[in-house]
Amino acid sequence: MNRGLILGVIAMAAIVVAANILVQFLFGNWLTWGAFTYPFTFLVTDVMNRVYGAKAARRVVLAGFAVGILCSFIGTQIMGEFGPLVTLRIALGSGTAFLIAQLLDVSVFNRFRDSAWWRAPLASTLVGSSVDTAIFFTIAFSASLSFIEPVNDVSWAGEILPMIGFGPLVPLWVSLAAADWLVKLSLALVALVPFRLIVGRMVARVA
């Protein structure tokens, strides 16, 4: 594995670890600090894809997935005020969402690889982020999937409230998902700047 890929694996692992830690801390009523770090996993995947290709990007994704599983396992062993910091549903939702969304990101990126430089990272991140949010919050908090972990009471997530405080009445978890999704969409645009800069430098070094 060359130096660039090693740096990609390290970057992915660092972001996954940081997101798993920061998700424990609230930012306002609808978000955690982890929502602002996790989306950059898509930046790492897209940079690796652009510079080294889809196969290398998938290797970095699998490394991030392994780190995420380890973090989830550790979280299940740490007891918080209301039980383990990471429940089975959260661990399952997180791992499933990460793997599917990141691999989808790689595929969408390849579809637009030969388009304008910004189209592939933007399209792939928007699609991947949307799928990630939908899968994670549905598995982790939807009442329809309570059979996954019957002993885990997530009824609080089903409380009916205005979406993000002012929209139509929806379960609380839908508001949490919507807020998370909006952050991911915003960061998808912001990440185009470091994507352009990092890819430029890495391509120059590879050449």
Tens-digit pLDDT profile for residues 76-122:
888 777 678 899 999 999 999 999 999 999 999 999 999 999 999 99
165-173: average pLDDT:
94
Query: Both tokens of residue 50?
Result: 């652009």
- Reduce the secondary structure of the chain to three states and give it as a string: CCHHHHHHHHHHHHHHHHHHHHCCCEECCCEEHHHHCCCHHHHHHHHHHHHHCHHHHHHHHHHHHHHHHHHHHHHHCCEECCEECCCHHHHHHHHHHHHHHHHHHHHHHHHCCCCCCCHHHHHHHHHHHHHHHHHHHHHHHCHHHHHHCCCCCCHHHHCEEEHHHCCCEEEHHHHHHHHHHHHHHHHHHHCHHHHHHHHHHHHHHHC
Cβ–Cβ < 8 Å for 51, 113 = no
Tens-digit pLDDT profile for residues 18-57:
999 999 899 999 999 999 999 999 999 999 999 999 999 9
CA 98 to chain centre: 6
Q: Domains in the chain, ordered, with CATH?
A: 3-206 (1.10.1760)
Sign of CA dihedral 45, 47, 48, 52: positive
pLDDT at 84: 80
CB contact set of 157 (below 8 Å; sequence gap of 6+):
141, 143, 171, 172, 173, 176
pLDDT at 66: 96
Cβ–Cβ < 8 Å for 175, 164 = yes
Mode of pairing for the β-strands spanning 83-84 and 31-32: unpaired
Instruction: With a cut of 70, say whether residue 187 has pLDDT above it.
Output: yes
Tens-digit pLDDT profile for residues 129-161:
999 999 999 999 999 999 999 999 999 999 999
Cβ–Cβ < 8 Å for 19, 97 = no
